[in-house]
Amino acid sequence: MKQIEKIAAAENFGAVNVGKLSELNEYVLELGPEVKIPGKVFGGAAVGATGSEFSFQSFAPGTETGFLHTHRNHEELYFFLAGEGEFQIDGRIVPVREGSIVRVAPAGRRSVRNNGDAPLVMLCVQYRCGTFYDEDSAHCESISGPVVG
């Protein structure tokens, strides 16, 4: 089973490499002795994230999540990086493909299916709902100093 490669870490950052997206199928997420999800890897803990979680997942053609799920407090953003498929939210089917982005509120009942003929690859970012405000997107503190390069 493939493992995340830790590149570097210090007080203010963490860096990892999950490898080529075409090799995500080498990961297996084990949620218990009976539940193993091929092609899925979580990375939040590996980089030391404290306000969100993220995962990469690759669905082989003809496969799907296999279950509906919701969250108590977390919203999710799904970024589709390759392939094509269907995203089910609250009984509605939305077609997705490379470049599609889907946001789902905590209570949204969701599932993903690959109905294409190539791997469907996605990045999912999970974060606490209701914590980001308009003024946050403009908040950036510029500092002086050289940029390595």
**How many domains would you assign to the chain?**
1
Residue 146 lies in a domain: no
Residue 147 lies in a domain: no
The CATH number of residue 105's host domain is 2.60.120.10
**Cα–Cα distance for residue pair 19/7, rounded to 1 Å:** 12
pLDDT over 90 (residue 88): yes
Q: What is the pTM of this model?
A: 0.91
Q: Which residue has the higher pLDDT, 18 or 135?
A: 18
User: What percent of the chain clears pLDDT 70, i.e. is strictly above it?
Assistant: 100
| Average pLDDT over every residue of 120-135 | 92
- Residue ranges in the chain assigned as alpha helix (H): 44-47, 134-137
**Predicted pLDDT of residue 36:** 87
Find the domain containing 15 and state its range. Answer: 5-131
Residue 81 lies in a domain: yes
Look up residue 30 and give its two tokens: 């084990």
Residue 118 lies in a domain: yes
Mean pLDDT is lowest, of 3-12, 25-34, 76-85, for 25-34
Residue 106 lies in a domain: yes
- HSE at residue 106, side-chain half, CA atoms within 13 A, is 8
Residue 149 lies in a domain: no
Residue 144 lies in a domain: no
**Predicted pLDDT of residue 143:** 84
**Cα–Cα distance for residue pair 58/128, rounded to 1 Å:** 24
Residue 107 lies in a domain: yes
Tell me the pLDDT tens digit for each residue of 99-117.
999 999 999 999 999 999 9
**Cα–Cα distance for residue pair 138/26, rounded to 1 Å:** 39
**Predicted pLDDT of residue 133:** 83
